[in-house]
Structure 1
Amino acid sequence: MQVTNSPPDLNPSCGWHGTLQLVFARQREATQLMHEYGKAPLKVQRPFYPEGSEVCHSAILHTAGGIVGGDRLSLNLQLQPDAHALVTTVAAAKVYRSNGLEAKQTIQVEIAPGACLEWLPLETIVFNQATYRQEMRIELAPGASWLGWEMTRFGRSARGEQFVAGNWRSHTEVWQQGRPLWCDRQWVPGSKELFDSPHGLAGWPVVGSFAFVGRPVEPDLVEKARALWDSYSGKMTGETGATRLMSGFLCRYRGRSTMEARQWFIAIWHLVRTHDLHRPACIPRVWQLEQRC
């Protein structure tokens, strides 16, 4: 695999153009971060190994503290054969009110045969009047797998803010040998009607998706995921769904709490890891520092 050259800078008055390139490789039964290149405001912390040398945990840091209109963030992650990496973020991402320009994040992922990437960022908080687009494309080689989630809060609901103006788009694609395995397009234009509509947010500010793609899963995995949510009866307030994909598994959440979404997703993550990756879930160290409602 070759590392792409860094893209040119944009005019500073048009926002940040941050880049981050990471290459993971397996050497002597250990996954190592073999190459890293970052340009502000993106950087990666030192890798750590809370579950042994086979899985490399890495945390991405956005040093500017938030995303504004005109920002362009480009991430490129490559996993060489049989590597296993877990990549998360140090803190929740904040997308501020737009200055008239769109903010955009683009993520390109290449996963070689036998490799696995777990993409588990903390939530994104989209302020009212923000304009934001995120695009992620994953190229899977035969025998590779990708596990990822996305959690988004629309508006600073603790302050009573709703997402009634602005625009949010999220587009994720997973491909294997020129064939699409899963394409997911989401669009939430800020409006009071959509915020309250049962076909939109139904008055709930948090949505989330969890996906595992790269290999077929048995129907009982779907039933177990649904049973996990049912076991929270009386404790959770959101709505959820789980279904099989052509080559994988998908769960959705809509509700009031990012902690509630994360709790369910972590339980599903543990289920998938035990069932298909043959190891229990290991909570990244940076999450243990997070305390939010």
Structure 2
Amino acid sequence: MTACPALRPERSHGAARLSFRRTGAWTKLAVLHQSGSAKAFMHPTGRGPEVVFLNTSGGMTGGDRLAFGLTLDAGCRVTATTQTAERAYRSADGVAEVEIRHEVGPGAHLDWLPQETILFDRSALQRRTTVALVADASCLVLEAVVLGRAAMGEVVRDLNFFDRREVLRDGKPVLVEPLRLGSAALGAGVGVLQGARAFASLALVGQGAEAALGPVRAVLDEPGVNAGASGFDGKLTVRLMAADGWPLRRQLLRLLAVLREGPVPRVWQM
């Protein structure tokens, strides 16, 4: 008898990239590419196009690959988010990889506001986010992470998570935020997450960004959320931790209302 070959688990790969150009007073879609499990759709708003990325595989596990990207020509203004929370499930083998790169032209502005990433027990995820600004371009960048779903009684004891966010201006780094979270860190107590199971980082980068520090600090009072903000040299950064994802989300919605001076993306609205 001939031995059956070992079955290889099916993996999910996908990429979605969009380019925008300025035509008169309007920001318009120029190029749309999407393949595999990555999709994107958009609709116009009074503040410019709103792009929603989605992963049709429903989540990620070891060996999956996902890439998102935007290119904004001079003067464009775009908001981009994800349809729902991304989920990193238990990985039996390998690491899931996400590559995000946005390029923002002169005088353009990007709000990159993905919804939360939920990390499940024994998940393995590596993600890199790069926002490349040119000249006087600006951006508002958010990343939020939730360790399991409290309502389902989930507890995360073992994981492998590496996340790196970079904002560049003319090729030079102006904001770099690396994070590595593993099993040892989860058990390190108050020295790491202080018992929090949800955390986020929000950054506004652009000329005069630090002027929003006062209004931002004025709304950092959501019960159950520990947060702090700082502003200097054309940057404003906010760090947040909470015992659960819902208080964190409520606080983020209030912050976005201040920093965007308008409504949050439609998929964020509760």
Normalising by structure 1, we get a TM-score of 0.84
Q: Residues 245 and 104 (structure 1 numbering): CA distance in 2 closer, same or farther, change over 3 Å?
A: farther
* Residue in structure 1 matched with residue 130 of structure 2 by the alignment: 137
1:212 aligns with 2:204: yes
Which digits, 9 at most, give the CA deviation of each residue in 1:152-189, with x for residues without a partner? Answer: 10123223222211111110011112321100011110
1:80 aligns with 2:61: no
* Residue in structure 2 matched with residue 277 of structure 1 by the alignment: none
Greater CA drift, 149-158 or 105-114: 149-158
* Residue in structure 2 matched with residue 257 of structure 1 by the alignment: 244
Listed as ranges, the matches of 1:38-53 within 5 Å are 38-45=34-41, 47-50=42-45, 52=46
The alpha carbon displacement at 1:260 in A equals 2.0
Find the aligned partners of 1:31 and 1:244 in 2 and give their Cα distance: 30
Question: Which of 229, 242, 248 is residue 220 of structure 2 equivalent to?
Answer: 229
How many corresponding residue pairs? 263
* Residue in structure 2 matched with residue 36 of structure 1 by the alignment: 32
Question: Which of 141, 158, 172 is residue 165 of structure 1 equivalent to?
Answer: 158
The alpha carbon displacement at 1:195 in A equals 4.4
* Residue in structure 2 matched with residue 59 of structure 1 by the alignment: 52
* Residue in structure 2 matched with residue 174 of structure 1 by the alignment: 167
1:269 aligns with 2:261: no
Q: Which runs of 5+ in 1 are unaligned?
A: 1-11, 274-279
Does the 8 Å CA contact 1:140/1:214 hold for their aligned counterparts?
no
Greater CA drift, 158-167 or 68-77: 158-167
Greater CA drift, 27-36 or 112-121: 27-36
Does the 8 Å CA contact 1:79/1:111 hold for their aligned counterparts?
yes
Q: Which runs of 5+ in 2 are unaligned?
A: 1-7
Q: Residues 98 and 150 (structure 1 numbering): CA distance in 2 closer, same or farther, change over 3 Å?
A: same
The alpha carbon displacement at 1:128 in A equals 0.6
* Residue in structure 2 matched with residue 153 of structure 1 by the alignment: 146
Structure 1 residue matching 2:115: 3-state secondary structure: coil
The alpha carbon displacement at 1:98 in A equals 0.6
Structure 2 residue matching 1:229: 3-state secondary structure: coil
Find the aligned partners of 1:76 and 1:59 in 2 and give their Cα distance: 12
Question: Which of 67, 87, 108 is residue 94 of structure 1 equivalent to?
Answer: 87
* Residue in structure 1 matched with residue 97 of structure 2 by the alignment: 104
Does the 8 Å CA contact 2:256/2:264 hold for their aligned counterparts?
no
* Residue in structure 2 matched with residue 19 of structure 1 by the alignment: 15
The alpha carbon displacement at 1:265 in A equals 2.2
Which digits, 9 at most, give the CA deviation of each residue in 1:210-269, with x for residues without a partner? Answer: 1111223345x3233222123x4xxx1121010114321000111123232222222222
Q: Which amino acid aligns with 1:68?
A: T
Find the aligned partners of 1:182 and 1:246 in 2 and give their Cα distance: 11
Structure 1 residue matching 2:44: 3-state secondary structure: coil
* Residue in structure 1 matched with residue 4 of structure 2 by the alignment: none
Task: Give the share of equivalent positions with the same residue, in percent.
Answer: 29
Question: Which of 117, 120, 142 is residue 124 of structure 1 equivalent to?
Answer: 117
Q: Residues 179 and 204 (structure 1 numbering): CA distance in 2 closer, same or farther, change over 3 Å?
A: same
Does the 8 Å CA contact 1:67/1:96 hold for their aligned counterparts?
yes
Q: Residues 223 and 264 (structure 1 numbering): CA distance in 2 closer, same or farther, change over 3 Å?
A: same
Structure 1 residue matching 2:257: 3-state secondary structure: helix
Q: Which amino acid aligns with 1:180?
A: P
The alpha carbon displacement at 1:138 in A equals 1.2
Find the aligned partners of 1:109 and 1:91 in 2 and give their Cα distance: 20
1:70 aligns with 2:63: yes
Q: Residues 245 and 38 (structure 1 numbering): CA distance in 2 closer, same or farther, change over 3 Å?
A: farther
The alpha carbon displacement at 1:44 in A equals 0.7
> Stretches of 4+ moved more than 6 A in 1?
none
| Structure with the higher strand share, 1 or 2 | 2
* Residue in structure 2 matched with residue 8 of structure 1 by the alignment: none
